[in-house]
Structure 1
Amino acid sequence: MPWTGRPEPRRTASHRRTVPYPREEGELRRFGPGVTGSVRRHAPGGTAEAAAVAAAVWREPSRTERLRRALRRWAPAASAAAIALALLLWQRYGGPVAVDSVSARPASAVLGCGGTADIVGVVDTNGRPGTLVYRWVRSDGTSSGRLRQKLARGQEEARLRLLWSFHGRGDYRADAELQVVSPSKHRSTARFDYRCR
């Protein structure tokens, strides 16, 4: 290589050659991810329009939108919990009174002269409020007719009494049948002996 009289500069890491980035007049270039593709599609114009669209796309959700999102997320679980709670409340407090069992017993198996038989009918219920409709039918052919007993909420037992008086001498096998008519039909019979000699 011929000598030109000027020393050739040394090539070191600090003397790297930099090439200016070509730019047009009035154009601003930035490094980084920049505006997303969806924003570019909506903002083909200048940088100010792109910035406005980006602000609209990335804006903070309002309180109403956050509430709607939370409702959409928690609505199925809340609905299931509400249904389960409604079923529990219905089982405990809802629905009409229902009869579970009926039994009738005399206070004594043998009744003496001029005595009065005390017969108690016990009706077990589900504890819901309502009205029992019942009647007593005696073996001498008489009936009490329809009677009603009101039940309060939580009352799981109703005691129904029949007093049956006897006079005169003789022996008699007596039956008293308790018939529950409503809310469902049930019956139970109490038996005792009347003895007077």
Structure 2
Amino acid sequence: MSNDDEYSATVLGSHWVSGPPSAQPVVAPDRVDGSVMRFGPGVTAAAVAPFPVVPQPVPARQRGGGLRRYALAGAVLAGVLGYLCWQQYGPGVTVRDVAVTTDPAGPACGGTADVVASVRTDGRPGTLAYRWIRSDGTRSERLTEQLARGQQEARLHLLWTFRGQGSHTAEARLELLEPTRRTAAVEFAYGCTP
């Protein structure tokens, strides 16, 4: 090491390159790019940058750019969620027509009549609630039928078994409870002679 009194660790030997620091005039630059980096113990702002560092304002078009960047994705997500909610909670199934049929000849002795209700819908998913009412005074409990999307017809069956001799005119009535109230019925004859 030399005994030079002018040597300073904070100036990093600037006099070795361009002479002593007092010999050079300090010239402020006309513009500042980036930030001032300081390192080492004892380095002051005046030793590294003798001019003031002024932060540049952010242009208006860069502010809020993050929100605009995600606006399209947010709109698409909102649209998909709205569609799924409409599918789940939107308008339900609509009944267009109800008809009840069976074999007009009726069941044979000790036979079973298969009474079929045909419920035509608009194809939306939903639940039909219904009950069967027979002319002998029997009422079924509340029954349900699930309809899938695109299913435009539900076939509801009532199996009515007859026993004994004689003849009887029977009526089976479908009472649709939900989504709308409708009824449809069919009459048929049971006859059994020895």
Give the TM-score category using the shorter length.
0.5 to 0.7
Structure 2: stretches of 5+ with no match in the other structure: 1-24, 33-48
Give the alignment of 1:16-27 within 5 angstroms.
Answer: 26=25
Among candidates 74, 77, 93, match of residue 79 of structure 1: 74
Query: Is there any run of 5+ residues in structure 1 with no aligned partner, and where?
Result: 1-25, 37-46, 60-65
> What does 1:26-41 correspond to in 2, within 5 Å?
26=25, 28=27, 34-35=30-31
Aligned length: 144
Cα shift at 1:195: 5.3
Secondary structure in structure 1 of the residue aligned to 2:137 = coil
Deviation of the 1:143 alpha carbon: 0.9
Distance 1:89 1:99 in 2: 16
Distance 1:120-1:99 versus aligned 2 partners, 3 A rule: farther
Task: Specify the alignment match of 1:176 in structure 2.
Answer: 172
- Residues of 1 paired with 2:112 and 2:130: CA distance? 21
Q: What does residue 120 of structure 1 align with?
A: 116
Is 1:165 aligned with 2:161? Answer: yes
Identity level (%) = 28
Q: Match for residue 57 of structure 1?
A: 56
1:105 aligned to 75, 89, 100, which one?
A: 100
Identify if the C-alpha distance between structure 1 residues 98 and 139 changes in structure 2 by more than 3 Å, giving closer, same or farther. Answer: farther
Distance in 2, Cα, partners of 1:194 & 1:116: 12
Q: CA deviation at 1:186?
A: 3.0
Letter aligned with residue 56 of structure 2: V
**TM-score, length of structure 1 as denominator length:** 0.53
Paired residue secondary structure (2:79): helix
Q: Is the 8 A contact 2:131 2:139 kept in 1?
A: yes
Give secondary structure in 2 for the equivalent of 1:118: strand
Higher helix content, 1 or 2: 1
| Aligned with residue 191 of structure 1, among 152, 163, 186 | 186
Aligned residue number for residue 83 of structure 2: 88
Q: Could you list the per-position Cα deviations for residues 148-187 of structure 1 after superposition, in whole angstroms to 9, with x for gaps in the alignment?
A: 44x3865835432101233543362x432222334x2333
For 2:27 and 2:112, locate their aligned partners in 1 and report how far apart those are by CA, in whole Å. 114
TM-score by length of 2: 0.53
Change (3 A) 1:141 1:29: closer
